[in-house]
């Protein structure tokens, strides 16, 4: 069975050139054509010199005067304009190919977000399709979630384009997620139940988290880390009733994952829906909201009064930590991480009580 390939010509005949040839064959001047068609001489001159397009009305007039069917004129005009547009498109692709180094294209292809290719022009086309823009330059002017990617990328080595890609991939997955309308009170109640999930493996807690968050209007998305994003998590809103909680699987330490998750939930229950929060290294903006989300995460993971009593007792042995973790219903590694952060333990101490996760989505590169 044969295959066919559609070829596009770059040698379209300009309608103006053909019009000049027909006038020469007829021995007809531009002035006479203007009188016969009832069009201004200036308009005819502009058509002959390719400065004015042939419209359907003009094509009908030329058909009547020059006996050349209207569809011929319109076909020439359409093909000529299409070739011009293709040339302009190629020029735009060439210019934008210079900015490909801003995007982690190979990783995006590995995760299946864009198609693999070595052709720079095709990479630009694929990125445009991924972001839903006609030009990569337009990404910075989209506002909303993408504005946050550029606003937050303050570290010298951070890439706002990588963050924008990470957020766009999350947005695409969140749109496909089936969720109930957002319920802030229901989310607060669910947080209490999530503490017990810290004691489970990802295979057990991940589907439970998705289900419970979806029931209160939150789409949970876990995505692999992209180079130069330096982000642990993000929250944003697709609609007034559907929130997105994005988590990077950049780090494997369980205590960091859970603190980041509870931190993001804090943004959803405490802060304005119009704000996009991207938790990233070197970020200085929205400091008050970040502090409030940190406090929410600390006190939700380990009840404030219980932690104060435990610290006051001063016994930070492994056995004591395990007993306290059982008492408050969380994984011992969460307590160890908190004590290390509070400088009551060195980061080298009791690491055997801390878990490290190996994410299935990280192995496959497909994300969630």
Classify residue 282: in a domain, yes or no. Answer: yes
- Tokens describing residue 138: 């337009």
With 0-12 / 13-18 / 19 or more C-beta atoms within 10 angstroms meaning exposed / middle / buried, residue 203 is exposed
| pLDDT given for residue 10 in this prediction | 57
User: What span, in angstroms and rounded, lies between the C-alpha atoms of 253 and 61?
Assistant: 76
- Tokens describing residue 196: 């017990």
User: What span, in angstroms and rounded, lies between the C-alpha atoms of 344 and 338?
Assistant: 9
Asked whether residue 265 falls in the same domain as residue 203, the answer is: yes
| pLDDT given for residue 152 in this prediction | 60
Q: Within the chain, how many helices (H) and strands (E) appear?
A: 17, 4
Asked if residues 316 and 332 have their Cβ atoms less than 8 Å apart, the reply is: no
Classify residue 8: in a domain, yes or no. Answer: no
Asked whether residue 166 falls in the same domain as residue 261, the answer is: no
Q: Which of 237, 234, 236, 208 is nearest to 223 (CA)?
A: 234
Asked whether residue 349 falls in the same domain as residue 325, the answer is: yes
Classify residue 3: in a domain, yes or no. Answer: no
User: What span, in angstroms and rounded, lies between the C-alpha atoms of 111 and 365?
Assistant: 5
CB atoms within 10 A of CB 43: 15
Asked whether residue 185 falls in the same domain as residue 65, the answer is: no
Classify residue 5: in a domain, yes or no. Answer: no
Asked whether residue 222 falls in the same domain as residue 275, the answer is: yes
- Tokens describing residue 345: 């333990």
Could you list the beta-strand ranges (E) of 13-95. none
Classify residue 315: in a domain, yes or no. Answer: yes
Last residue of a domain, one of 171, 202, 231: 171
Q: Which of 16, 18, 65, 20 is nearest to 38 (CA)?
A: 65
| pLDDT given for residue 308 in this prediction | 96
297 secondary structure, DSSP code: H
The contacts found for 100-107 with CB under 8 angstroms, 24 or more apart, are 100/124, 100/127, 102/159, 102/161, 103/127, 103/159, 103/161, 103/162, 103/165, 104/159, 104/162, 104/165, 104/226, 104/227, 104/228, 107/224, 107/226, 107/227
Neighbouring residues of 338: CB distance < 8 A, sequence distance ≥ 6: 255, 298, 301, 302, 307
Last residue of a domain, one of 171, 206, 232: 171
Asked if residues 73 and 15 have their Cβ atoms less than 8 Å apart, the reply is: yes
Give me the sign of the Cα torsion angle 333, 338, 344, 348: positive
User: What span, in angstroms and rounded, lies between the C-alpha atoms of 291 and 253?
Assistant: 22
Asked whether residue 130 falls in the same domain as residue 188, the answer is: no
Classify residue 10: in a domain, yes or no. Answer: no
| pLDDT given for residue 153 in this prediction | 53
The contacts found for 17-26 with CB under 8 angstroms, 24 or more apart, are 17/50, 18/76, 19/47, 19/48, 19/62, 20/48, 22/66, 22/68, 23/48, 23/66, 26/66
CB atoms within 10 A of CB 243: 27
Asked whether residue 104 falls in the same domain as residue 233, the answer is: no
Classify residue 1: in a domain, yes or no. Answer: no
Asked whether residue 352 falls in the same domain as residue 259, the answer is: yes
Asked whether residue 240 falls in the same domain as residue 343, the answer is: yes
Domains of the chain: total = 3
Last residue of a domain, one of 97, 122, 146: 97
160-176 vs 144-152: helix axis angle to the nearest 10?
A: 150
Match 């735009």 to its residue by tokens.
92
List the pLDDT tens digit at each of the 368 positions of the chain.
343 334 445 556 789 999 999 999 999 999 999 999 999 999 999 999 988 999 999 999 999 999 999 999 999 999 998 988 888 888 888 888 988 999 999 999 999 999 999 999 999 999 999 999 988 888 887 777 777 777 665 555 778 899 899 999 999 999 999 999 999 999 999 999 999 999 998 889 999 999 999 999 999 999 988 888 888 889 999 999 999 999 987 667 899 999 999 999 999 999 888 888 887 655 556 688 889 999 999 999 999 999 999 999 999 999 999 999 999 999 999 999 999 999 999 999 999 999 888 766 433 444 44
User: What span, in angstroms and rounded, lies between the C-alpha atoms of 326 and 300?
Assistant: 15
Asked whether residue 202 falls in the same domain as residue 311, the answer is: yes
Classify residue 142: in a domain, yes or no. Answer: yes
344 secondary structure, DSSP code: S
* Predicted TM-score of the model (pTM): 0.76
The contacts found for 334-341 with CB under 8 angstroms, 24 or more apart, are 334/198, 334/254, 334/255, 334/258, 334/259, 334/301, 334/302, 335/302, 335/310, 336/255, 337/253, 337/255, 337/256, 337/259, 338/255, 338/298, 338/301, 338/302, 338/307
Which residue range forms the structural domain that includes residue 105?
A: 100-171
Asked whether residue 141 falls in the same domain as residue 230, the answer is: no
Asked whether residue 31 falls in the same domain as residue 156, the answer is: no
């Amino acid at each position: 069975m044969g295959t066919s390939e559609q070829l596009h010509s770059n040698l379209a005949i300009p309608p103006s050139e053909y019009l000049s040839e027909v006038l020469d064959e007829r021995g007809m001047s531009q002035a006479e054509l203007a009188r016969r068609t009832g069009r201004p001489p200036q308009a005819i001159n502009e058509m002959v010199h390719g400065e004015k397009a042939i419209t359907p009305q003009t094509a009908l007039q030329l058909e009547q005067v020059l006996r050349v069917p209207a569809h011929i004129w319109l076909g020439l005009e359409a093909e000529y304009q299409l070739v011009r547009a293709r040339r302009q498109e190629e020029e735009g692709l060439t210019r934008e190919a210079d900015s490909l180094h801003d995007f982690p294209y190979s990783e995006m292809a590995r995760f299946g977000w864009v198609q693999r290719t070595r052709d720079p022009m095709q990479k630009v086309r694929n990125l445009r399709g991924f972001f839903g823009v006609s030009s990569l330059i337009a990404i910075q002017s989209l506002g909303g979630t993408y504005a946050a990617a550029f606003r937050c990328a303050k570290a010298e080595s951070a890439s706002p384009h990588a963050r924008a890609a990470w957020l766009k991939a999350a947005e695409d997955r969140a749109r496909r997620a089936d969720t109930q309308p957002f319920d802030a009170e229901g989310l607060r109640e669910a947080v209490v139940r999530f503490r017990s999930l810290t004691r489970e493996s990802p295979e057990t807690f991940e589907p439970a988290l998705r289900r419970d968050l979806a029931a209160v209007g939150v789409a949970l998305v876990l995505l692999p880390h992209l180079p130069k994003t330096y982000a642990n998590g993000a929250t944003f809103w697709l609609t007034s009733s559907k929130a997105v909680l994005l988590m990077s699987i950049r780090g494997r330490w369980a205590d960091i994952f859970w603190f980041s998750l509870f931190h993001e939930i804090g943004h959803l229950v405490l802060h304005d829906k119009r704000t996009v929060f991207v938790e990233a290294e070197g970020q200085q903006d929205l400091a008050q909201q970040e502090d409030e989300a940190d406090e929410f995460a600390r006190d939700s993971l380990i009840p404030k009064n219980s932690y104060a009593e435990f610290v006051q007792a001063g016994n930070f042995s492994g056995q004591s930590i395990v007993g306290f973790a059982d008492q408050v219903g969380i994984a011992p590694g969460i307590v160890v991480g908190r004590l290390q952060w509070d400088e009551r333990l060195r980061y080298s101490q009791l690491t055997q009580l801390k878990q490290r996760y190996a994410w299935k989505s990280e192995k496959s590169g497909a994300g969630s």
